[in-house]
A and B are shown apart, each in its own frame.
Chain A
Amino acid sequence: MGLLNKLDDPYYGGGIILGKVEDILNWGRSKSDWYLQFGLACCAIEFMAVNASHFDFMRFGCIPRTSPRQADFIIISGTVTFKMAERIKVLYEQMAEPKYVISMGSCSNCGGPYWEHGYHVLKGVDRIIPVDVYIPGCPPRPEALEEGMIRLQEKINKQAIFNKRKRLAEEEKQELIIDN
């Protein structure tokens, strides 16, 4: 972050930073995202692998929470069936604002290999909840999930908190996506 580099800059007199409060808040939010510990299908195994020693998800500041109330974002890792879809909607609604969704793998993006004959498969989790980041792959490699995480952090960094007009425009855009 450019913000922190300024601390060492002698011209600023040390310890004084000039910047927007929004940037500081967003920086903090993007670096400590807690996720809901929740797996669905094949992708959940890769998700577990990301949590384990080789890929070390915690270096992104991500800590698993078992309760949706404490989670900032949810990773939909796998096929969403109709029996499960209603539960996922409830889980999403239980999470506190601001909340984000990563859709991991082709199944939750668009139905994946089950798109044609899967009578019991929801073709895309974005039909029930809004999605922030889509990760392609069946299943995506752990590196792909990590990139998805970085993209989510970028998104959080750019978000408006105080600028009401900008914020409302963002929310409106998201509602449009769900309606379609």
Chain B
Amino acid sequence: MQAQEIYEKLKAEFGDAIIEFNAEPFFDPFVLVTTDKLFDICLYLRDTQGLEFDYLSCLGGMDYKENLGVVYHLYSIKLKHTFVIKVTVSKENPFVPTVERIWRTADWHEREAYDMMGIQFEGHHNLIRILCPYDWENFPLRKDYVQPDEYHGMKVPY
């Protein structure tokens, strides 16, 4: 199914929760949705006949300088089509509902997004750091990140 049709289907079902549809050249077509309806939209995309996005390819945290975001790349193993969902949240209040109950693989992806970007996934059963040590400070992939001077007595800069 084409991205345009999927967007129309979503728009008919969820209305205002779909903020924007982007199909510009050089972009994978994506929809921007609100965070409060994100879980329902994902569940709808997975369970509806004809969409069946049963495979979460990639989940990535983003830093758009003024705010943060999460990008979901979906794929359907049966129907072989792809779709992209985006949400944005403010840096002061970075709360996004978790989708780990829809796709189990989101568990580790969300922990990584939390570790790198500091995005809080509400309802995640075990939201702790995954790549950096558990006592690491700050979120390394944010654009304004500054390297620490030392960690446990070891010098960090060259």
Chain A positions within 8 Å of B, measured between CB atoms, are 82-83, 85-86, 110-111, 115-116, 119-120, 122-123, 127-128
Contact = CB atoms under 8 A, between A and B. Distances in A.
B1 interface: no
Interface string B143-157: 001011001101111
A123 B158 CA distance: 6
B148 to A, nearest CB: 7
Contacts of B25: none
A82 B140 contact: no
Contacts of B155: 123, 127
A116 B132 contact: no
A116 B147 CA distance: 10
25 contacts: A82-B133, A82-B151, A82-B152, A82-B154, A82-B156, A83-B132, A83-B133, A85-B154, A86-B152, A110-B158, A111-B158, A115-B158, A116-B158, A119-B140, A119-B147, A119-B156, A120-B131, A120-B140, A122-B154, A123-B155, A123-B157, A123-B158, A127-B154, A127-B155, A128-B154
Q: Is the interface of A mostly helix, strand, loop or mixed?
A: loop
Contacts of B151: 82
Contacts of B148: 119
5 closest pairs, A vs B, by CB? Answer: A119-B147, A83-B133, A123-B158, A82-B151, A115-B158
A175 B152 CA distance: 21
Nearest to B151: A82
Contacts of B145: 119
Contacts of A122: 154
B158 A120 contact: no
Nearest to B150: A82
A110 B155 CA distance: 13
A82 B133 CA distance: 8
Given A86-B152, A111-B158, 8 more contacts: A82-B152, A116-B158, A119-B147, A119-B148, A119-B156, A122-B154, A123-B155, A123-B157
A110 B158 CA distance: 8
Q: In this complex, which of A83, A116, A119 has the most chain B Cβ atoms within 10 angstroms of its Cβ?
A: A119
Contacts of A116: 158
Nearest to B138: A119
A20 B21 CA distance: 84
Interface string B119-141: 00000000000011100000010
A85 B133 CA distance: 11
Contacts of B152: 82, 86
Nearest to B156: A119
A112 to B, nearest CB: 11
Contacts of A86: 152
- Counting chain B CB atoms within 10 Å of each CB, which of A82, A123, A127, A128 scores highest? A82
